[in-house]
Amino acid sequence: MSAVSHAAGEHRFLGGNRLQLLESGAEYFPALIAAIDAALHEVHLEAYIFADDTTGRRVAAALARAAQRGVAVRVLVDGFGAREFSEGLGASLAAQGVEVMTYRPEVGKLRFRRHRLRRLHRKLVVVDGRIAFVGGINVIDDFDDGKSVSARFDYAVGVEGPLVARIHANMRHVWRLVRWAHLGHRPSPPAPLPETPAVSGTMEAALLIRDNLGHRRDIESAYLAAIRSARRQIVIANAYFLPGRRFSRALLAAAQRGVSVKLLLQGRSDHVLLHYATLALYDRMLSAGVRVFEYEKAYLHAKVAVVDLNWATVGSSNIDPFSLLLSREANVVVRDAAFAKALHASLEAAIEGASREIRSADQRRRSWLARLASAAAYSLVRILIGVTRYGGKQYSN
């Protein structure tokens, strides 16, 4: 089956998978490096950020070891998020036999063009067509800010089973597109995919991607369907939360019909504009009965959700216009009670032990200057999305 036909069916659920929830880099990177060190044929990695720090060098060393023993190793990074990679770690890896490419390299940094906002934001790895990793964790130290005593709060999943073939096919498809753009001519057809991995467990899961072709709304639509069908509870943890009108209305409607809705958002902000824009949404959410928590222990980078303890998603997509309207993203959606309960327990522990609940009284105590800053930030983000002409009516009045 071709990569395109694989892509066309990525929203379909497949049974027979085993998914392992991995919380933050402390669990993710040892599993990733172990899989790379066990690779016999191929390692394919995509990352938005691939930092030249302790973690980045450890992962790069594992990739180099694989290449040196004859494994085909391909690394694709984003031209903005990993803009220094090609001249640093990337050049070193290329010299050791790793194929390295950059998605939309940054050129003419002082010139604004719409497509500069269309980034490769996915974090995907496939090893030997046998095991895959999907999530929100970049190749970067958990403590890169130099201040936090706790690791950045984030998730990935290790995937074994039939779903790996779909992840693999989509990664190879994007690799060919980028290679075509780099070389200026269509590359030769890809080698046949390995056989579909055997049944490894009992979990039903689907790969959801977002691109600007046939999958513009797949991730958002999956969220909306789950939220609209929720009967008991919704827990969303998201680093950059600035939903459009449909998403906001779905959450508010869920809360108003008696569903417990909890949002776990950033307490420490690493993008001030988006943080202040998000604050402009709090009053409306709180008045509808949505409970809002800010994670304060470290930076929150998660992009996960659990609905009714039987539906869960882990991936790279924020609930903001840049993820939902512009970037290439990838999420896994899981229909499995045990997995959903494990993610829910992890989120509840973070809410109870590392977060502060925002209440209406807190909002009333905010100064007029803080409120003005939030309103201005929200308006500015809407203007930026309007300039790109990708937002449609989602972020208009």
Cα distance between residue 201 and residue 100, in whole Å: 33
> Could you tell me which of 3, 8, 343, 25 has the C-alpha nearest to residue 206?
8
Is 121 annotated in the active site? yes
CA distance 200 to 95: 37
In the residue annotation, 271 being an active-site residue is answered as no
The active-site residue out of 52, 78, 128, 211 is: 128
Residue of 6, 44, 121, 215 with catalytic role: 121
The answer to whether residue 336 is catalytic is: no
Q: Which of 37, 308, 341, 362 is catalytic?
A: 308
User: Is there a catalytic annotation at residue 303?
Assistant: yes
Instruction: Return the residue matching tokens 């790279």.
Output: 316
Write down the catalytic residue from 6, 44, 52, 123. Answer: 123
123 as an active site residue: the answer is yes
* Neighbouring residues of 233: CB distance < 8 A, sequence distance ≥ 6: 259, 260, 261, 262, 306, 307, 308, 309
* Active-site entry in 303, 320, 336, 344: 303
User: What angle (nearest 5°) sits at the alpha carbon of residue 357, between those of residues 355 and 358?
Assistant: 130
Q: What is the DSSP letter of 117?
A: G
Choice among 6, 44, 173, 301 that is catalytic: 301
Helix (H, G, I), strand (E, B) or coil at 3: helix
In angstroms, the CA 95 to CA 319 distance is 38
Task: Give which of 113, 97, 126 is closest to 32, Cα–Cα.
Answer: 126
- Is 128 marked active-site? yes
Catalytic center residues: 121, 123, 128, 301, 303, 308
